[in-house]
Amino acid sequence: MAKVNGAAVGGDVRGTLGGFVFGKGISGAIIRRKGTVIKRVEGEQDTRRAVWGYLARKWKLLTAVQRATWAVWAENHPRLDVFGNPFQMSAINAFVSCNAVAMQMGETVAVTAPVIDPVASMATFAAATGAGDAGDVDLSWTHNGVGLADDYMQIEIDPGHMGQAIAFTTSRYTFVSSTAGNLLLVAVAGLTEGLYYNFRARYVDEFGQVTAWLYADATPKLTV
Does the pLDDT of residue 165 top 50, yes or no? Answer: no
CATH fold of 121-218 reads Immunoglobulin-like (2.60.40)
What gap in Å lies between CA 72 and CA 74, rounded to an integer?
5
Confidence of residue 73 (pLDDT cuts 50, 70, 90): very high
What gap in Å lies between CA 201 and CA 192, rounded to an integer?
20
pLDDT in tens, 104-126: 888 999 999 999 999 989 899 99
Mean pLDDT of the chain: 78
Does the pLDDT of residue 208 top 70, yes or no? Answer: yes
Determine the pLDDT at residue 48: 78
Does the pLDDT of residue 159 top 80, yes or no? Answer: no
Does the pLDDT of residue 9 top 70, yes or no? Answer: no
Q: In which order are the strands placed within the sheet that holds 214-218?
A: 172-177, 152-159, 197-204, 214-218
Task: Choose the weakest-confidence range: 30-34, 109-113, 115-119, 146-150.
Answer: 30-34
pTM score of the predicted model: 0.70
pLDDT in tens, 80-96: 887 888 889 999 999 99
For helices 91-104 and 44-59, what crossing angle results, to 10°? 130
For the chain, the first-to-last Cα distance in angstroms comes to: 50
Check if the beta carbon of residue 190 is closer than 8 Å to that of residue 159: no
Confidence of residue 184 (pLDDT cuts 50, 70, 90): confident
What gap in Å lies between CA 129 and CA 132, rounded to an integer?
9
Does the pLDDT of residue 216 top 70, yes or no? Answer: yes
Does the pLDDT of residue 166 top 90, yes or no? Answer: no
Confidence of residue 5 (pLDDT cuts 50, 70, 90): low
pLDDT in tens, 12-26: 555 666 566 666 655
Where do the structural domains in the chain lie, given as residue ranges?
2-33, 44-104, 121-218
Does the pLDDT of residue 33 top 60, yes or no? Answer: no
Confidence of residue 30 (pLDDT cuts 50, 70, 90): low
